[in-house]
Structures are given as structure tokens and as C-alpha cells.
Structure 1
Amino acid sequence: MTYNFLDESGQILREAGRIGGIDPNVMAFLEAPGRVVSFRIPLKMDDGSFRVFDAHRVRYNDALGPSRDGTRVSPDLDLDEVKSLALIMSIKHAAGRIPAGGGKGGIEADPRELSPREFESLCRAYIRFLRPRGQAYDVPGADIGTDLQTMSWMLDEYESITGYHEPAAVNDKPPILGGSLGGYEATGSGVFDVFRVAAEQAGLEIDGLRVAIQGFGQVGSVAASKFHDAGCVVVAVSDSRGGVFAKEGLNIPELLEHKRVTGKVAGFAGSQDLSGGAMLECDCDVLVPASVQGVITGENAGRIKARMLVEAANAPTTVKAEALLLEKGTIIVPDVLANAGSVQLCQMERSQGLSDNYWDLETINRLRQERLAKAYREAVDTAAGHGLKSVRLGAWINGLKRMEEAMHLRGWC
């Protein structure tokens, strides 16, 4: 069966609304995004040829504040995916008590097929054609295919258009341009922060836990280092070009160097190669999907051996798979909590940019850990209060209740 990201997100939305007793008028409003913008970007290539790229930006709901974040550049991106991600971002902000709405955007392109000049031109053109209105309306951030450099180009393009500096208009930029310390590590570190709270609540001793991580990009590699440094045994890691397994554990610092030199994790000394499917089903205590959505399905859920699933990617687990995993006692730490380190960081980045007062890394790490832990515990409590096994539904109910309150106070419903 073909995975339908938008349908899956809608199912969770409706179920959380039903269980949480959310006003039907609020639910009717949330059945679709509040605003969708699609546009086409013409680009002259280095060889003189001409290409057109489709692009999108979705502001799902902004009852709690200006919408934010990510901008995804991916060859298979489509509008339904952007809508789903914007909905998840709305819940992620609301469940984490962040005064922001959910936004998501992207370009249908493969950065690997573009020269540096072509990619920079495409990123700048995205901002021009988006016609952004600044930090009080909608704030683009980074996602798959974008990074500190791309967000620097986007900020510069925005400021060139407006004629004045506004660091809070774009998130996930380098500290020297008004970004925050700890930005690169925020999501991966946050994955470990939430895992640590979940393990404590479940009575699991962290030292010696066997961890498998699908995805070894920015998020997965940082998370792997955190698990390794805490005494966990990282037995398996994969990226888009393959995976590796070592029963006694992988040396993560050496694996990071191997990946830097070779561009892949496959072929790492002292390990055996592993396919992507086998990676998800390997013998481990904690499984961390950190790549893309829909990788854990009703077909492979029964073969997953992990006692805990920590969702570092957005929506890696289908609705059917979650039901099967919860039934057999797997603890699921959902994406809207586990990978929310970046949105907490972006909120801090915004606060610093607006005040022109920048914080030290110790303060940033402390605030991130405190806020993530609080959101997780609140979701667990809400789930328990409704007799639910699903912490995901607890988080979505909390997010919907905050959005409902804001919408009622604004007189929308």
C-alpha cells in the first residue's frame, strides 16, 4: 500500500481531537492549512540551459503566533508532504509551549545535481518569489537539503530586498549573522535529551543500552555521539548509501571521521554492512529513525525488536505500525517531542535576535533540556489521564488544546 503522509497526519489529528474533546469548529478549521502558496522558480544553469523548479510554502495555523520553520529541498518533495509537515510543526510548537504557528516550505530539487552557484541562486530566488513579510509573519528555517549556508543566503536576500537588517526574519543561520549558539546540534542533542527523560520514566538504565540509528546526517550523527558519550552501545548506523552493524558497538568518533573521508558509513572497519530494512529490524534496545517519514509500517513493525522507539525524523512511524508496536509494549517517543530541540532552539534564536542580546551555550543547553523534558512529561500525563498508551496522542491533545484556546480568544471559532 502506498504511504500517504497527509492522510496519516489527518488521522492522528482527528483521533486526538476526538479523544481530547476539541471544539468541532476548531477541528473543522484545522482540517486544512490556513494558507498555501505555490510558485515556480526559473533558473539559468551554468551551461546556459534553462530549468524551472516548483516550490511551496504552507502556513498551517498561526493562532499562537507567527508561523515557522523549515525549508526542505528534495527531488521528491510535493505539496501534500509540505502540508503534513506544516501541521506537525503546528502541533510541535503548541505542545512545546512555543508562541508560534506551524509553517513549512520547500523546493522540488536535488541539491547534489546543482553547482554551488546554481544552488545559491535557487535559494535566493526562493526568498524573492516567496515575498516574505518578516519575523512577525512567517519565518523560514532549515530542514532536509538546507543548512547554515543556505539560510545565510536567504537572510541576505531578504535583507537586500527590504533594505534593512532583520536577523529574526530567518531561522537556523550562523551565530555571526545573528543566529544562536548550539543550532547545529539542537535537534540531535534534543533527541537524546527526550530519550533520557523517557528512559528514566520507563526505569531503563542508560549505560549499556544497545542503540540503532537510521540516518547519519546532521541529526543522526549528533544523536549518535550523545548516545555513545552517555555509555550506550551504538550497534548500528545507516545513511542513504547503506548501513553498518557491530555487535560489540561502533566507535562513533572514528565512524564520523570515516564518513567525512569516504562520504558514507558503509565499509567502516570492524563492522558488517547492513541494508536499510535490516537496520530497522536489528537486535537493539533503542531504535532511532532519523531520516524520512513512513519507514516503520504495518509490514515491518512486527519484526522490530527494539524496546523503545525514539523518532528523530518527522512521522517515521505509520498509524498502523504504532498500534502494533504499542500492543506489544514498545515505548514510542514521538517526533513532535523527540525532534523538537530545533524548534526550541529557533524560539531562543528569535528571542536573541529581537533583543540583540545573545546567550552563552550553557544557558541555551539548559533551557532546551528543561523545555523538552517538560513537554514530554506533560504529554505522558495527558496520555495517562485519557487511558492512552500513545504518548503521541497525549502531545497532540496538548497542542490542540492550546491552539483551541488561542482560536477561541481571537474569536475565530
Structure 2
Amino acid sequence: MSNNPFETSQASLHAAAEIGKINPDAVRYLEQPKRIFQFTIPMKMDNGELRFFEAYRVHFNDALGQVKNGLRFVPDLDLDIVKALGLWMTIKHAVAGIPAGGGKGGVKVDPRTLSEGEYERLCRAYIRKLPMKGAWVDVPGADIGTSGKTMAWMLDELEEIKQFHQPAAINDKPVAANGTQLSMEATGTGVFFVTREAVKDMGIPGDAKIVIQGFGNVGRTAALLFHEAGFKVVAIGDIKNAIHNENGIDVPALVAHVAKTGYVEGFAGTVGLSNTDLLELPCDILVPAAVQSVLNAGNADRIKAKLIMEAANGPTTPEAEEILQAKGIKIVPDVLTNCGSAIVCSFERTQGLTDDYWSADKVKAKLEERIVEAYKATKAASEQHDTSMRNGAWINALTKLQNSMKARGWI
């Protein structure tokens, strides 16, 4: 049994391809990335020390268009994680009807150990050393350890290199740097829209108990929207610890607490617990919104949720999925649940190419329309093939990829 994210992504690929009768040659294209860039960034630190940082960028597949999104600056980054994320992004774009391929990358570093100046120099160096970039080739976006601020630095560096403005070449920028409204809230907002549809279909009550693992951009945005809609968020975890209140957590007050203290720990009216125990709490809806492989063979039999909404990438291993399905727990997969950011990044590129920037209301309305449509298509494919929602989403995506590959003469 493995928690390797690339093996998890390949298991999803092959399971769906078999059920959906996808052309085997199309599947072979998706068994490895089209391009892998692996490079070293040497950098002088503030104290004069020379350090070397491992960096990656994967162009997984570009049958549907230029590759896009995802730069992750984390201390445990490796090539298998980047490859898995690249394949998931390829599928995610296809699920959401976006004419783009999947790209992913980043640097093996803990940004919290860097000064502001070191962080900026590392971001700029990454863009300088990235071999292929630009609005029609590869459009990096933010992920864990990166943000609107880092993407603005990267855009500025890229424009210095190219010697002309091209705001569509970098995603997830602040509005002040030709970004889009709702950029940082896109994934969490999409998670809310998809959860709302799944809850309707399953007949789960409107005051359902929700447990959220992860309180970054995604978990925080989703938690606020759940709270506003009347759901009862009973437990939330972050990178350090977790908190629980069976009667519901005051999410806006928690956001203010985290802004002051940095962590959910110590929030008034809650009991502390570990992230391991958090996942195993009885609840209606479990939202893993942190990292990959947190639901695995070691804990799947102790999960007590009725519905799992995968807000993180690859939070459920194939072994865990078998156990959860046998228990009757429904899973709405990552490539659908968290594709809100991919959708809004597509809007951002469109706005950058046309110099036509949209209001937050327009972005939100178009996001809702696109992601609800993707949910309905996934559900229809799942029912048509009498299979899981994950397989339904992947079959839809693989069919689009297969058709493009055939039209292009690849297969």
C-alpha cells in the first residue's frame, strides 16, 4: 500500500479509462509528463551564505491548450508530487471545460524560514530560470506557499525579461497587478457551490455538521460560506492543531483569532485535538482542504462522515477509497470539488489578454455557472457508467483529451 501521490493519480487514470473505454494510446500519453524541468536555484542569503534550492516545473499534457497553474513552495516537495499535481490539473481543466493543459511546479523550501527579501529573490530567480513561460505556453499560478504577492513579483520579473507587459502570463495576481477579482477565494467558493449541489442530491439537511481539515485560503473561504449558509462547522484544523465545538464554531470570529495568533489553537469555546482525531470525528460532511494522502489505509475504516468533499488535491489514497466506498461514504473528487481556482484562473487569463476586467459579482456568477455545470456532467457520467463520482469526472475529462489527441493526429 502506497501514499505516493503519483501512484494515486495513475490509479485514478487507469480505473476511469477502463470503465470509460478510453483509447489505450491516449492513456499512454497521460502515464508520464510531456516535459519535466528540474533545476537548481543558487541564492545568496541575507547573511551572505550561499544556498541551493531544488526547483521543478512539469508540463503534464497540453492536448487541450497551454499548460497552467500551481507553484508550490513547500519543504517536502518532490518530483512525484509535482507530476501527480500536473496530471490532476490536466484532468481538472478538462472537467471544468477549460481549454488548457496541466502544469505544476515549485521550489523545495519552507518560506517561513526566509526573510521577505530572500523570498522575493527566490520567486524572481524561479521565473528567470524557468525555460518556457508566457501566456500561450505556460502560465504559473499560486499554490501552497505562494500568494498574490509572490505572483506579482514573478509577473514583474517575467515582464522585465520579455521587455513588454503580458498580464495573462501569470495567474493569481492581485487586482492591483492586473489580476482578477475573487482569485484567492476561488477554490473555497467553488468547494461551497459543489457541496451545496451534493447536499441537495443526497438529502443532507441544511444545518449539516461539517469538519474541515485545513484553514488556508481554501478551508477559510469555504468555512465562511458554509457558516453564512447555515451549515454547522463543528471542527477545523490547521498546520499545527485542530479545534472542536459540537454546537458549531463562530467562523468569522475564528478568522479574526487566526489573524492575531496565526493558528486556530486556543480559540474560545472550543476543545483542542489533533488533526488525526479531527478526520475521525462523526459528521455529515468531511472537507479535507490541506494536502494529499490524509485519508489512507491506516485511518479509512475510522472515518465517520457521510460525504467527503475533496478540497485538497489527492487527499484520498486508492486503498482508502475502497474502504470508504464499502462503508457507503460518498466522495466528490478533487478534480471537481476544487476546480474553482482553475476556472477563475482561466477567467484571469481571458481578462489579461483582452484588457477587459470583470467585477467580483460577474466572476462569482460565471464561476457558479461553470462549476455547477461540471458537477451535473460528472453526476451524469457517474450514473451512466454506474460508477463513482471520481470515475465519472475522469471519464468526462479523458473523453475530451482523447478527442483532442485524435483530432491533432497524436493517436
Report TM bin, short chain: over 0.9
Quote the residue 1:246 is aligned against: 245
TM superposition outliers: structure 1 runs of 4+ over 4 Å: none
Following TM superposition, by how much is the alpha carbon of 1:205 offset from its aligned partner in structure 2, in angstroms? 2.5
Write the distance in 1 (CA, Å) between the matches of 2:216 and 2:29.
Answer: 36
Quote the residue 2:176 is aligned against: 176
Quote the residue 1:307 is aligned against: 306
Quote the residue 2:16 is aligned against: 16
Equivalent residues in 2 for 1:255-266, closer than 5 Å: 255-266=254-265
1:103 partner SS: strand
Quote the residue 2:124 is aligned against: 124
Aligned pair count? 411
Quote the residue 1:152 is aligned against: 152
Write the distance in 1 (CA, Å) between the matches of 2:278 and 2:73.
Answer: 26
Quote the residue 1:136 is aligned against: 136
Quote the residue 1:316 is aligned against: 315
Write the distance in 2 (CA, Å) between the matches of 1:369 and 1:93.
Answer: 15
Write the distance in 2 (CA, Å) between the matches of 1:2 and 1:112.
Answer: 29
Q: Deviations over 1:47-95 (max 9, x none)?
A: 0000000101000100100000100001110011000000000000011
Write the distance in 1 (CA, Å) between the matches of 2:327 and 2:7.
Answer: 25
Write the distance in 2 (CA, Å) between the matches of 1:19 and 1:78.
Answer: 31
Q: Deviations over 1:144-186 (max 9, x none)?
A: 0000000000000000000000000000001121111011111
TM-score normalised per structure 2: 0.99
Quote the residue 2:91 is aligned against: 91
Write the distance in 1 (CA, Å) between the matches of 2:66 and 2:85.
Answer: 16
Read off the aligned partner of 1:168 and give its amino acid letter.
A
Quote the residue 1:374 is aligned against: 373
Write the distance in 1 (CA, Å) between the matches of 2:203 and 2:284.
Answer: 13
Read off the aligned partner of 1:5 and give its amino acid letter.
P
Write the distance in 2 (CA, Å) between the matches of 1:204 and 1:371.
Answer: 23
Quote the residue 2:389 is aligned against: 391
Following TM superposition, by how much is the alpha carbon of 1:27 offset from its aligned partner in structure 2, in angstroms? 1.2
Quote the residue 1:325 is aligned against: 324
Write the distance in 2 (CA, Å) between the matches of 1:190 and 1:261.
Answer: 27
Q: Compare 371-380 and 196-205 and name the one that shifted more.
A: 196-205
Write the distance in 1 (CA, Å) between the matches of 2:54 and 2:278.
Answer: 33
Quote the residue 1:270 is aligned against: 269
Counterpart contact for 2:73–2:145, Cα < 8 Å: yes
Following TM superposition, by how much is the alpha carbon of 1:203 offset from its aligned partner in structure 2, in angstroms? 1.9
Quote the residue 2:57 is aligned against: 57
Task: Find 2:401's aligned residue among 393, 400, 403.
Answer: 403
Read off the aligned partner of 2:120 and give its amino acid letter.
E
Q: Does 1:165 align with 2:165?
A: yes
Counterpart contact for 2:242–2:265, Cα < 8 Å: yes
Write the distance in 2 (CA, Å) between the matches of 1:199 and 1:80.
Answer: 34
Residue identity (%): 50
Following TM superposition, by how much is the alpha carbon of 1:132 offset from its aligned partner in structure 2, in angstroms? 3.2
Quote the residue 1:365 is aligned against: 364
Quote the residue 2:349 is aligned against: 350
Following TM superposition, by how much is the alpha carbon of 1:2 offset from its aligned partner in structure 2, in angstroms? 4.8
Following TM superposition, by how much is the alpha carbon of 1:241 offset from its aligned partner in structure 2, in angstroms? 1.1
Q: Does 1:204 align with 2:191?
A: no
Q: Which blocks of at least 5 consecutive residues in structure 2 are unaligned? A: none
Write the distance in 1 (CA, Å) between the matches of 2:282 and 2:355.
Answer: 49
Write the distance in 1 (CA, Å) between the matches of 2:44 and 2:240.
Answer: 30
Write the distance in 2 (CA, Å) between the matches of 1:258 and 1:38.
Answer: 40
Following TM superposition, by how much is the alpha carbon of 1:320 offset from its aligned partner in structure 2, in angstroms? 1.3
Write the distance in 2 (CA, Å) between the matches of 1:114 and 1:133.
Answer: 25
Following TM superposition, by how much is the alpha carbon of 1:19 offset from its aligned partner in structure 2, in angstroms? 1.0
Following TM superposition, by how much is the alpha carbon of 1:392 offset from its aligned partner in structure 2, in angstroms? 0.6
Write the distance in 2 (CA, Å) between the matches of 1:209 and 1:28.
Answer: 42
Following TM superposition, by how much is the alpha carbon of 1:127 offset from its aligned partner in structure 2, in angstroms? 0.2
Following TM superposition, by how much is the alpha carbon of 1:280 offset from its aligned partner in structure 2, in angstroms? 0.2
Q: Does 1:70 align with 2:109?
A: no
Read off the aligned partner of 2:154 and give its amino acid letter.
M
Following TM superposition, by how much is the alpha carbon of 1:133 offset from its aligned partner in structure 2, in angstroms? 3.3
Write the distance in 1 (CA, Å) between the matches of 2:260 and 2:174.
Answer: 24
Quote the residue 1:289 is aligned against: 288
Following TM superposition, by how much is the alpha carbon of 1:40 offset from its aligned partner in structure 2, in angstroms? 0.4
2:347 partner SS: helix
Quote the residue 2:218 is aligned against: 219
Q: CA RMSD in A?
A: 0.9
Write the distance in 2 (CA, Å) between the matches of 1:12 and 1:215.
Answer: 24
Read off the aligned partner of 1:83 and give its amino acid letter.
K
2:400 partner SS: helix
Read off the aligned partner of 1:64 and give its amino acid letter.
L
Read off the aligned partner of 1:408 and give its amino acid letter.
K
Counterpart contact for 2:279–2:286, Cα < 8 Å: yes
Q: Does 1:185 align with 2:177?
A: no
Q: Does 1:338 align with 2:340?
A: no
Following TM superposition, by how much is the alpha carbon of 1:25 offset from its aligned partner in structure 2, in angstroms? 1.1
Read off the aligned partner of 2:273 and give its amino acid letter.
L
Q: Compare 15-24 and 139-148 and name the one that shifted more.
A: 15-24
Q: Does 1:233 align with 2:235?
A: no
Q: Compare 99-108 and 126-135 and name the one that shifted more.
A: 126-135
Q: Deviations over 1:227-282 (max 9, x none)?
A: 10000111000101101000111111111111111111011111100111110011
Q: Does 1:47 align with 2:47?
A: yes
Equivalent residues in 2 for 1:24-43, closer than 5 Å: 24-43=24-43
Read off the aligned partner of 1:347 and give its amino acid letter.
S
